[in-house]
Chains A and B, each alone.
Chain A
Amino acid sequence: MSAIEHLPNQDNGLLRFMTCGSVDDGKSTLIGRLLYDTKTILADALSAIEKTSRKRGLAAPDLALLTDGLQAEREQGITIDVAYRYFSTATRKYIIADAPGHEQYTRNMVTAASTTNLAIIMIDARKGVLAQTRRHSYIAHLVGVPHLVVAVNKMDLVDYDESVFERIRAEYLAFADKMGLSAKGFEVRFIPISALAGDNIVSRSEATPWYTGPSLLEILESAPPAGQHKDKAASEAFRFPVQYVCRPQASDDPALHDYRGFMGRIESGSVKAGDAVTLLPSGRTSRIKAVHLGDAAIAHGVSEQSVTLLLEDEIDISRGDMIVKTAEAPEPRKALRAMLCWLSETPLSPARTYLIRHTTRTVKAKLASIAYKVDVNSQEHIDAVQLAMNDIAEVDWKLAQPVFADSYAENRATGAFIVIDEATNNTVGAGMVL
C-alpha cells in the first residue's frame, strides 16, 4: 500500500509496464527499488527480506528478494514465471509484469508483453548491448509494446561516465533502426540509472548532472495509460466481441420481456446511441438503441469499457459474434497469416487440429505452412519444418469458420489469438495477425 501523500488527488489512470532483463542486470533490484521508493513495501515485508538477506550473509537488504514469489524459485534463486506487482503514486496506479529474460523463457516474455504498454529494457552499463538486449527489444516490438525505455543500469560501477551511456545509446540506435523500432507510433527513450543506489529512479540524480531528461518515474507518470492507444484512440475502429447475451424473459418486470442485452468489452473505438452497426457473421444491420454500464445508461462507451449494448431491432446474436460500425466492418478471414510464438513443450504438429480463440470466438484450425522461424537473438530468418517451445515463426493457418480479425499492428485486441490443444485444453500458442 502507498503512503498518505499517495492518496490519489488526481486519477491519471493505470499503466501496465514490464521490465526486461536478467537477474544480473539488476531487474529485480529495480522493481524492488520502485516499490521501496514509492513506499509500497511495508514494514513486515521489509523485515522479512532483511531476515533472509542476513541469512544469506548480505550486508544490506537485497531488494530483489521482494519479487521472488514461489518456493522453487527462492530455492534456485531465479524467476521462472511471470509475476505481477503493484504500486501507486499520487496520480496513477501501476501494474508491473515481471518476466525472466533468458532465451528459454521467450514465452514468458511474450506473455508479459501482451498486456503491457511500456517496456523497460535493462542494460548493464559494464556490458553494453548484448544479444539479450536485441532479443528483448525484438519481442517487445513483435508484441506491439508501443513505448520502450532503455535503462542503462549500474552507472555507479562505471563512475557515472557520460561517454559509457552515450556509447550504449549509439549502439542501441544502430540496431533499433534495422529492426524497425524507429517506425511511427513507436518510441524509444534512454536513461542512465543505478537501481541499487536509486539514481534517476524517482528524482534526477546529482551523480549524473550531464543527464537532463526525466527520471524513470517521471517517464512512467507521463506515458499514455491503459485503454489509450497513443493518438489512435479517436480514429480506431469500433470492435465489440459479444461475450454474453442477457434475455431476462422470465423476469417479473413486463418491461423486460423484450429485453436483449449484448454484453461485452469495447476492444477499440467508441460507441453511442444512434450508431449504425453491422452484426458479424450474419451481416445484418441495425442501430444502437442504448449503451448501458451496470444499470445506468451512458452517453457513449469507450475503448476497454465493459458495457451492455441494446439494439433497435430484434436480432439473434450469440457469444462469438461481433458488433462493429457498418462503415468500418472487417473482412471475414478463413486463413490467417500470423507471427506465432509456440508456448508448449509439445511441438506444433501440422497433422493435428487445434482450436484458435480470437476475441470471444473459438474455431478449429490447422497449420497450413511455416514460412520461416526467427532467431530471437539475431532476428535472422531460418527455415523450419517444426516449432518447439519458445520458437517464433511466421505461419499460415486454415480455419474451419471465419474470424473477424484486424492486423495486430492496427489493433492489438482483434489482431491477437491464442492456440489451444484440444486434447489437454492447454494454451499452446500465441498469435499475432499480419
Chain B
Amino acid sequence: MTNTMNSQTQATLSHLDWLEAEAIHILREVAGQTERPALLFSGGKDSVCLLRLAEKAFRPCRFPFPLLHIDTGHNYREVTDFRDKRAAELGERLIVRTLEDSIRRGSVVLKHPLESRNKHQSVTLLEAIAEFEFDCCIGGARRDEEKARAKERVMSFRDEFGQWDPKNQRPELWNLYNARTHRGENIRAFPISNWTEMDVWQYIEREKLELPSIYFAHKRPVVRKGDLLQPVTELTPAKQGDVIEEIMVRFRTVGDITCTAPVESHAASVEQIVIETATSTITERGATRLDDQTSEASMEQRKKEGYF
C-alpha cells in the first residue's frame, strides 16, 4: 500500500497528480471511443511521458493501440535506438514508417536532397493512417508550445485529407470528449494538452523516466547561426567560413536533425534540467526550432496540412 501522493488526507490533488489523472482519462476515452487508435512515439520526452501515462491507464492489460513512429530518416541515432529499446521493454508493437518510402512512392518530392524533411512528415503520417485505417492518433503536443496550438482541442478532428480547420472545431465541454468519426476521418488526441515544458520535466523527474542521452549536456560541434546553435552533422555540414565550436549542449526538443537546434547547457541530470527550465528566458520552440522562425503563422499552416 505504498503511495507517494499527498492526496490521501487533503482533498486536493497536486498539480502533477491532477494533470496525470486528466491524461489517463483522455487515453481511456480514446480506447473506449475509437476503433483503431495508434500512439505516436518518437522517443522524445513528451512521448516518453505518454508511454508512462499509458502504462498507468491500461496495465496490467496491454495497450489498446500500437506505437507508431514517422521516421524522417534524419533522426539522431541515440533517439531511434532509444525508441526501439523502450518499445521492446514495454512489449508493445512498434510500427515505423519512413519518409524514404514516401519519396520512393513519389508522394514526397524534395526540392533538393538536404531540404528539411520535417514538414513532409505529414504525407507519410497520412499514408500510415490510410494503410492501417487508424481512426485516432494520440500525440504528445502541448498547448503551451506555440500560439496556434493554444486553441487546439484535446480531441481534434481532421477530415479525410487530414486537414485541421481552426475555424470549424468541435466545441469541447467539461470532460465529455467527442471522438466520433466517419470512415476515413481521423481524430488527433492530445492527452498532455494542458502540460507545460516544466510539467513534463517535473513528471519525468517524479516518475524517474529514462530519456535519450542527447537530452543531457554533452560536447558537440556547433556553428552559431544568430541566436541558434546549428549542430554540425553529415546532414548539416559546416559551410565555408563557418566557425565550428565544440561546446557543452543539450537538446530541449529532439526532432529532425535539420531543424532542431541544441542549447548551451551543463545540465547533466533531470534535476538540473528542471532548474534550468525554471530560469530559462527563451521559449522551448524559440530556442530550438529552425522551422518555426519563418513566419508567425508557420505552425498553423503546417497543421492545416495535416501536421501534428
By a beta-carbon cutoff of 8 Å, the part of chain A in contact with chain B is 1-4, 6-8, 11-14, 42-45, 48, 67-72, 74, 80-86, 88, 92-93, 95, 107-108, 110-111, 114-115, 225-228, 233-234, 243-244, 246-248, 251, 253, 256, 259, 261, 263-265, 293-300, 302-306, 319, 343, 357, 359-360, 412-413, 416-418, 420, 425-427, 430
| Closest CB in chain B relative to A325 CB, distance in Å | 17
Given A243-B32, A306-B57, A357-B178, A44 contacting B286 (CB threshold 8 A)? yes
Given A12-B12, A306-B57, A265 contacting B175 (CB threshold 8 A)? yes
| Closest CB in chain B relative to A50 CB, distance in Å | 13
- What are 9 A-B pairs at a CB distance below 8 A? A3-B278, A7-B275, A11-B16, A68-B147, A69-B150, A88-B15, A111-B172, A295-B59, A306-B28
Contacting pair A226 B194 (CB below 8 A): no
The chain B residue sitting closest to A266, CB to CB, is B21
| Closest CB in chain B relative to A170 CB, distance in Å | 34
B161 on the interface (CB 8 Å rule)?
Answer: no
Query: How far apart sit A380 and B280, CA to CA, in the bound complex (Å)?
Result: 52
The chain B residue sitting closest to A70, CB to CB, is B166
User: Which chain A residues border B76 with CB–CB below 8 Å?
Assistant: none
User: Which chain A residues border B7 with CB–CB below 8 Å?
Assistant: 302, 305
User: Which chain A residues border B193 with CB–CB below 8 Å?
Assistant: 84
Interface size grouping (class) on chain B: 35 or more
Contacting pair A427 B173 (CB below 8 A): yes
Given A42-B281, A295-B59, A306-B21, A425 contacting B173 (CB threshold 8 A)? no
Given A71-B300, A246-B60, A302-B7, A294 contacting B151 (CB threshold 8 A)? no
User: Which chain B residues border A227 with CB–CB below 8 Å?
Assistant: 11-13, 18
Contacting pair A427 B11 (CB below 8 A): no
- Among the listed A69, A111, A114, A246, which residue makes an inter-chain contact with B58, where contact means beta carbons less than 8 Å apart? A246
By a beta-carbon cutoff of 8 Å, the part of chain B in contact with chain A is 1-3, 5-8, 11-22, 24-25, 28-29, 31-32, 55-62, 64, 143-144, 147-148, 150-151, 166-167, 169-176, 178, 180-182, 193-194, 196-199, 274-275, 277-283, 286-287, 296-297, 300
Contacting pair A6 B60 (CB below 8 A): no
User: Which chain B residues border A2 with CB–CB below 8 Å?
Assistant: 198, 278
User: Which chain A residues border B12 with CB–CB below 8 Å?
Assistant: 12-13, 225, 227-228
| Closest CB in chain A relative to B175 CB, distance in Å | 7
User: Which chain B residues border A416 with CB–CB below 8 Å?
Assistant: 173-174, 176
Contacting pair A298 B3 (CB below 8 A): yes
- Among the listed A11, A265, A293, which residue makes an inter-chain contact with B3, where contact means beta carbons less than 8 Å apart? A293
Contacting pair A72 B167 (CB below 8 A): yes
| Closest CB in chain A relative to B96 CB, distance in Å | 25
The chain B residue sitting closest to A357, CB to CB, is B176
The chain B residue sitting closest to A430, CB to CB, is B173
Q: Which of A111, A233, A234, A306 has the most CB of B within 10 A?
A: A306
